[in-house]
Structure 1
Amino acid sequence: MASESANLKSDAIMDQMKQHLSTDAGKELLKKIGLVYQIQIAPKKLGYNEVIYTVDLKKGEVTKGPYEGGKPDATFSFKDDDFVKVALGKMNPQLAFMRGAMKIKGSLSAAQKFTPDIFPKPAKM
């Protein structure tokens, strides 16, 4: 089972996000949002074999594993494919939530700031 969770498409997005937060555009996000999100990504089925990421938009860090500084402002659960769609702006986060493709725990006002704008634009091939 472990090998399955090692190949999430989301991993590449999280790597890009790490680099993005060190840029000027990324630093603007920190000023604008200043929240901590925990993102749980399941390879196939919500709640199973999840890989957890912490996206800290206070410090500008993306780390694998649960948030250790208390409670995150909001926690999102996605299937890998759905997370990729939302991060790339191919699926509206509100629509993902209404369809059950995204689950949210925590502050809804914090969750509303979780938009495709916080993700780096994919590099054009």
Structure 2
Amino acid sequence: MAKTELKSDALMDQMKLHLSTDAGKELTQKIGLVYQINIAPKKIGFDEVVYVVDLKKGDVTKGPYEGGKPDATFSFKDEDFIKVATGKMNPQLAFMRGAMKIKGSLSAAQKFTPDIFPKPSKM
């Protein structure tokens, strides 16, 4: 089976670059938490691609978190993740509608906002 190409992959690559900048380093100092993000092509819980956004080390990796438990784990469909990350969908609304599922610390989850993502560059 061909590996699924997610729109989120490009966003995560940008996030990785963003975290290596000064603005990214400020984020890691301010937030200091580890998030696991499970992104499904069509339906939450199926064929998910797992990313770890480590705002302690300032890194983004593919695959489940290996340093114990992440502070919070999010599950999204690819298109919903893009909407939340780009600020087109309110995270609370996404959660209430079931477009986003959260496991772990809710206070940690609340610090995971669209402003931690790099702004899409205007082409």
Residue 110 of structure 1: aligned partner: 108
> TM-score, normalised on structure 1?
0.97
Matches within 5 A, 1:48-67: 48-67=46-65
Residue 94 of structure 1: aligned partner: 92
Instruction: Give me the whole-angstrom Cα distance separating, in 1, the residues matched to 2:95 and 2:30.
Output: 23
State the superposition RMSD in angstroms.
0.7
What is the letter of the counterpart of residue 112 of structure 2?
A: F
What is the letter of the counterpart of residue 75 of structure 1?
A: T
- Equivalent residue of 2:29, what SS? helix
Residue 7 of structure 2: aligned partner: 9
Q: Give aligned-pair identity as a percent.
A: 85
4+ long deviations beyond 2 Å: none
- Equivalent residue of 1:114, what SS? coil
What is the letter of the counterpart of residue 94 of structure 2?
A: A
- Residues 60-83 of structure 1 show CA distances to partners (whole Å, capped at 9, x for unaligned) of 010000000000000000000000
CA deviation after TM superposition for structure 1 residue 23, in Å: 0.5
Instruction: Give me the whole-angstrom Cα distance separating, in 1, the residues matched to 2:98 and 2:15.
Output: 24
Residue 24 of structure 2: aligned partner: 26
Instruction: Give me the whole-angstrom Cα distance separating, in 2, the residues matched to 1:2 and 1:41.
Output: 16
What is the letter of the counterpart of residue 55 of structure 2?
A: L
Instruction: Give me the whole-angstrom Cα distance separating, in 1, the residues matched to 2:117 and 2:45.
Output: 23
CA deviation after TM superposition for structure 1 residue 2, in Å: 3.5
- Equivalent residue of 2:101, what SS? strand
Alignment length (residue pairs): 123
What is the letter of the counterpart of residue 42 of structure 1?
A: A
Q: 1:81 aligns with which of 79, 82, 98?
A: 79
- Residues 53-111 of structure 1 show CA distances to partners (whole Å, capped at 9, x for unaligned) of 00000000100000000000000000000000001010011110000000000000000
> What are the ranges of 5 or more consecutive residues in structure 2 without an aligned counterpart?
none
